[in-house]
Amino acid sequence: DQQVKQNSPSLSVQEGRISILNCDYTNSMFDYFLWYKKYPAEGPTFLISISSIKDKNEDGRFTVFLNKSAKHLSLHIVPSQPGDSAVYFCAASGADATNKLIFGTGTLLAVQP
Amino acid sequence: KAGVTQTPRYLIKTRGQQVTLSCSPISGHRSVSWYQQTPGQGLQFLFEYFSETQRNKGNFPGRFSGRQFSNSRSEMNVSTLELGDSALYLCASSLSTRDYEQYFGPGTRLTVT
């Protein structure tokens, strides 16, 4: 049972444009959501997070939006840069009062120069 | 401040052997979680430790075990290795339990032949 889903395995965007990565979840008990960026053979790097009591969180070029009624979150990267090319994972936590993260399957973002 | 460190970075073992992986969390972080990444299953939660106690365990067989020491360093052990245990094993640390922002180490790439 995939509780966190990223339905787009890949996304290609031109440098300078907006990248929008999407994530859906099924468990309404999740109360914290995170986005990680990952390069091959490296550990995920934390990017940005959002609590379920908020609907938007912004950090520099990165903004995460949460729509609880739709059980959907998205990561916006503006403007996109070639160095943003990586796999992006969304993750959810809080359903069982521990730090356990449930990850989506990832979206490979390619930013074309 | 130094990040999460994992040793060794690469390991090759034979079926039936056992292996121990080590993780040193960020200084001051007391919660350590372990994850397995494989191409087929993605990032899967193994277990979480806080104050030397296992707080949560993922859906893995008993061959997978772990522990945490008083200095918050953690080890995980896999006994009777199987080919399917080949994966990137990632350790993540956070300040405390219920502190969802976890910071990952570079991982240990385990290959079972």
CB pair distance less than 8 Å for B105 and A43: yes
When pLDDT is cut at 50, 70 and 90, the band that residue A70 belongs to is very high
Count of all residues that appear for chain A in the document? 113
User: What do you get for the CA distance between the two ends of chain A, in Å?
Assistant: 38
The set of residues, in sequence order, having a beta carbon less than 8 Å from that of B85 and lying 6+ positions away, is: B78, B110, B112
CB pair distance less than 8 Å for B56 and A46: no
**A22, A9 Cβ separation under 8 angstroms:** no
CA distance B35 to B46: 5
Tens digits of residue pLDDT in A37-49: 999 878 999 999 9
Residues of A in contact with B56 (CB under 8 A): 96, 98-100
CA distance B34 to B98: 15
Residue B18 pLDDT: 98
Tens digits of residue pLDDT in A11-26: 999 999 999 999 999 9
Average pLDDT over residues B3-22: 97
When pLDDT is cut at 50, 70 and 90, the band that residue A2 belongs to is confident
**B24, B75 Cβ separation under 8 angstroms:** no
**Which amino acid is residue B56, in one-letter code?**
N
When pLDDT is cut at 50, 70 and 90, the band that residue B99 belongs to is confident
When pLDDT is cut at 50, 70 and 90, the band that residue B98 belongs to is confident
Residues of A in contact with B10 (CB under 8 A): none
DSSP state of B84: G
CA distance A7 to chain B (A): 14
CB pair distance less than 8 Å for A44 and B56: no
Average pLDDT over residues A52-78: 97
Residue A22 pLDDT: 98
| Tokens coding B89 | 């094993």
CA distance B11 to chain A (A): 13
Choose the mutation target among B100, B101, B108, B110 for the interface with A, i.e. most A CBs under 10 Å.
Answer: B100
Residue B48 sits at the vertex; the CA angle it makes with A39 and B72, to the nearest 5 degrees, is 90
Label the pairing between strands B10-13 and B108-112: parallel
Average pLDDT over residues B66-94: 97
Residue B1 pLDDT: 64
- Give the residue numbers in A contacting B (CB under 8 Å), as ranges: 32, 34, 36, 41-46, 49, 89, 91, 93-94, 96-106
Q: What is the largest CA-CA distance in chain A?
A: 43
